[in-house]
Amino acid sequence: MEFTGKTVLITGAAGGIGGATAHAFREAGANLVLSDLTLDSLPTGEGILAMASDVTDMSSVKAMVSAGKDRFGAIDVAINNAGIAGPRGRFADMDNALWHQLIAVNLTGMYHALRVEIDAMAPQGQGRIINIASLAGVLGAPGLAAYGATKHAVVGLTKSLAHELGPDGIRVNALCPSYIDTPMLDDINGDDKGKLQSELNAVGRFGTAQEMADALLWLASDANSFMNGQAVVLDGGISAI
């Protein structure tokens, strides 16, 4: 799990999983290129380039990746974590604006990030990309149908790009968390959060952002040199039945 001399780019780095992941990779010695909509919650310090960036804007993503390469010389690992969920509700009652926002951030934003990261990594002959999808990207998600649709698309992109980018030395995988105790979970479930926790099977609790960060360390490490095109589910056993 050693990343000294490596540069790791993380979008959505001010969020629960993003913030824990940034801390974990910094502890492992990596240089960091961190982005979110604002700089307010991004860490700063030696070996860290923090930038305000909007993944829905291709020019903003290009500027962020270009600045990272200029500062550190390469982008070795990209973790595409920026995303939104919205409140739980019936698809038939969904506000049209929320649908378009989900597509813009979770899917078009992923497209922008991937295009720019691939352009940066291909000339290097190596790179590792990890897309943050969701359990809702591999199973049905009643009440979160639109969110699930975007995350299924992320998994599809991951599997397709793993084969396209193999000759360039770039591996692409996805992490699919279930219910993780972060502010996004509050946004999704609101007052029903406690009820949801009591209904979880197997482990019987929410996952933590630190557990997701630990998984991402391994997924991006040299210890995981053969995995490619996989959607790795971390759900405490929810999908086991």
Q: What is the set of active-site residues?
A: 147
Backbone φ and ψ of 34, nearest 5°: -115, 135
Helix axes 209-220, 16-27, angle to 10 degrees: 50
The closest of 210, 143, 216 to 182, measured between CA atoms, is: 210
- Using CA atoms, how far apart are residues 55 and 62, in angstroms rounded to an integer? 10
Strands (DSSP E) contained in the chain are 7-11, 31-36, 48-52, 77-80, 127-132, 170-177, 231-234
Question: Across-strand partners of 52?
Answer: 36
Token pair of 194 as six digits: 């406690």
DSSP letters spanning 149-176: HHHHHHHHHHHHHHHHHGGGTEEEEEEE
Token pair of 21 as six digits: 């992941």
- The set of long-range contacts for 135-143, using a CB threshold of 8 Å and a minimum separation of 24, is 135/176, 135/177, 135/178, 135/233, 135/235, 135/238, 135/239, 137/174, 137/176, 137/231, 138/176, 138/231, 138/233, 138/239, 139/239, 143/88, 143/89, 143/90
> Which one-letter amino acid corresponds to residue 89?
G
